Amino acid sequence: MLFFAITSCKKGQVVTAKADFAYEIIDSNFTVPVRIKLTNNATGANQYKWTFEGGDPATSSKRDPGVISFNQPGTYHITLESWNEDGHDQKAVTITLDSAVVINFDAEILINSYAPANVQITNKTIGAISQEWSFNGAAPQTSSAKDPGTITYTNPGNYTITLTVNNGRKTFTLSKEITILPPLVPSFEIVPSFDDDDYQAPLTAVLNNNTNAECTWKWTATGGKIDNDTAKNPSIYFASPGTYTVTLSANNKKETKTFAQTITVLPNTNLRSFADVRLGISSAYNTIGCFFSTKLRKVFTAKDDLTNIGGNIDIVYYGLNKNFKYNSFISPDSATYYTFNVIPNARPVVVVNTTENCNCNPITASQFDNMSTDALFQNTAVNFSGAAWKQFDNSAMPRIVMYQTADGRKGAIKIKSFVDNASQSYIICDIKVQKEP
């Protein structure tokens, strides 16, 4: 015998469809692009339709559509419709998504960076609905305007400009640094040329501009001749002795300021003096040096390259040894006869080593010390009369050696001491020479 179980729904029984869902803003980020995860909690339904206003995708018929992207800010509706053969239901939620923020601004220093300085602020931020500015050290110090315009810094220094913006839910901050330079302070030095560092006329000098800003310049002088009165570092020429005022007017496009210096140009003595010049014996040729140039004001050793300056050597000392029994000042063009290297472009010099033998009314030590102009040289002949060219020893001190250069300048050497220092022995002397024949 067979038995059958038969089940059936009661005629007229209704299944209710209920639409429901939950959503999650991924990373709690309401700033576009925004990703929203949806969870379908509907009951009793077997068909679904999602509508995502402003979303990607815009619709879906899946029960669980997953993650939806929103790329534009605004207020949107998400709607779920669910149904079965017995009924239909719908649920909608509203979401508000914030603008994407790109924070940026320009701080343009107008004219130049020297205080006082005006700075033009231009807001280039995208997506913000409010902003706050902080300008430390400036006037004004704060602003809530979108474009605050021009701010002013009175004092030099490093300053921070900070912009804080908000898109309704989130805050963004950006800071930039600017540097304001010190205000205009004109300044310069009057630097005589190498040949005119004794401040005697005629004098040529460079106006060494130390102004702390890039400017346009205007130079004036009460007596000197300026080669280019709008150059940054011109030269100036004074033909005659006197006291002169040089004035610099500097303009940095904001303000003009002046600065003045005075210079006293002395009468021309036509005399150059050197004190305590050390010249070594022959064994000190490599160390102390045996050559001297009154034009270059320097002692030279065997190690120095004289290729381009040999013609300026006018004093050559030869000392045989530390006993100082044989000493002689020699003409530069005869250096090789005394074991020295050849002096390139050497010029002949007339030397009177022993003035006591010259029969030439020589200069005395007292006259040498009191010489303040070249007047004595003008009335003195330098020649080889008698045995004046010969060597000398250290028995007489001080000793005056006279000489005359190839270009006619007369000079005198006063040997003050003979210093015994073994192979590094040397003499100490003062030198006076005409600047021009």
264-274 pLDDT, tens digit per residue, is: 999 999 999 99
Report the 3 state secondary structure along 339-369: CCCCCCCCCCCEEECCHHHCCCCCCCHHHHH
Q: What local confidence, expressed as pLDDT, does residue 293 receive?
A: 98
For every residue of 236-278, DSSP letters joined together read: EEE-S-EEEEEEEEEE-SS-EEEEEEEEEEBP---EEEEEEEE
Q: What is the pLDDT of residues 340-356, one digit of tens each?
A: 999 999 999 999 998 87
Tell me the two tokens of residue 398: 């001080």
pLDDT band at 2 (very low <50, low <70, confident <90, very high): very low
Tell me the two tokens of residue 202: 């005629």
Q: How far is CA 136 from CA 119, 144, 154, 172, 178, in A?
A: 13, 15, 12, 19, 11
Q: What local confidence, expressed as pLDDT, does residue 12 receive?
A: 59
Please give the CATH topology (third level) of the domain spanning 188-265.
Immunoglobulin-like (2.60.40)
| Most confident among 8-17, 228-237, 377-386, 401-410 (mean pLDDT) | 228-237
Q: What local confidence, expressed as pLDDT, does residue 168 receive?
A: 83
DSSP state of 100: P
Closest CA to 172 of 135, 120, 138, 132: 132
pLDDT band at 4 (very low <50, low <70, confident <90, very high): very low
Q: What is the pLDDT of residues 405-428, one digit of tens each?
A: 999 999 999 999 999 999 999 999
Residue 359 pLDDT greater than 80, yes or no: no
Tell me the two tokens of residue 84: 């079965």
Same fold, 105-180 and 188-265: yes
| Contact status, residue 400 vs residue 414, Cβ threshold 8 Å | yes
Is the domain spanning 21-97 CATH 2.60.40.10? The answer is: yes
Give 3-state DSSP helix, strand, coil % of the chain, rounded to 5: 5, 45, 45
The reply to whether the predicted model has a pTM over 0.85 is no
Q: What local confidence, expressed as pLDDT, does residue 388 receive?
A: 55
Q: What is the pLDDT of residues 361-389, one digit of tens each?
A: 788 999 999 999 999 999 888 775 555 56
Read off the pLDDT of each residue in 32-51 and give the average, rounded to a whole number. Answer: 94
Residue 25 pLDDT greater than 70, yes or no: yes
DSSP state of 409: -
Q: What local confidence, expressed as pLDDT, does residue 3 receive?
A: 36
pLDDT band at 5 (very low <50, low <70, confident <90, very high): very low
Residue 205 pLDDT greater than 70, yes or no: yes
Buried b / exposed e across 318-330, counting CB within 10 Å, b at 16+? bbbebebeebbbb
Distance between CA 155 and CA 113 in Å, rounded? 11
The domains of the chain are located at 21-97, 105-180, 188-265, 271-434
CATH for the stretch 105-180: 2.60.40.10
If phi > 0 it is left, if psi is from -120 to 50 it is alpha, else beta; for residue 191 that is beta
Q: What is the pLDDT of residues 140-189, one digit of tens each?
A: 999 999 999 999 999 999 999 999 999 888 899 999 999 999 999 999 99
Q: What local confidence, expressed as pLDDT, does residue 222 receive?
A: 96
